[in-house]
Amino acid sequence: GYNGEGELGNSTTVNSSMPVDVTGLGKGVKAISSGSYFTCALTTKGAVKCWGSNAYGQLGDNTTTDSKMPVDVYGLGKGVKAISAGNFFACALTTKGAGTCWGANTYGQLGDGTTTNSPKPVATVGLSKKVKALGAGGYHACAVTTGGKAKCWGYNGEGAVGDNTKVNTP
């Protein structure tokens, strides 16, 4: 596919019509999620690595420098059980049940109560140790709590947050 920002992770920006190996991730990958012009992987050791475009900090390495190969997400070298990427942001679910997100935050999609982009993971407000599942959409994210409730935040112009309004919810 398209690789203009290095989102294929093979140390190039050459498009490919065939699958290519991701540099440094030949084994030990548990899950993968692709966002807009970037990709993240969860390793079997519970670490998160991302590559590609990083204009909004969506690689989570505490920079805004693009990378054509995987970089470690700041503070997530272990203890992660799930990942999900959206448009220019990503989220992770820790083994302790906490949600954390990083990258673009124009609509509050990081869930930290602000609309400030973050190049490193920030905690989702009110979901510490209470998350069972987490998913990122285009410009919003949702979680299922251990109590079985659905909670969503971010862009709500189309009603994606599910609160019967069209008001964005950081």
* pTM for the model: 0.95
Note the pLDDT of residue 83.
98
Profile the chain (170 residues) by mean pLDDT over runs of 10 residues. 96 96 96 97 98 98 98 98 98 96 97 97 89 95 94 91 86
For 38-69, give one letter per residue: b (16+ CB within 10 A) or e. Answer: bbbbbbeebbbbbbbbbbbbbbbbbeeebbbb
Note the pLDDT of residue 39.
98
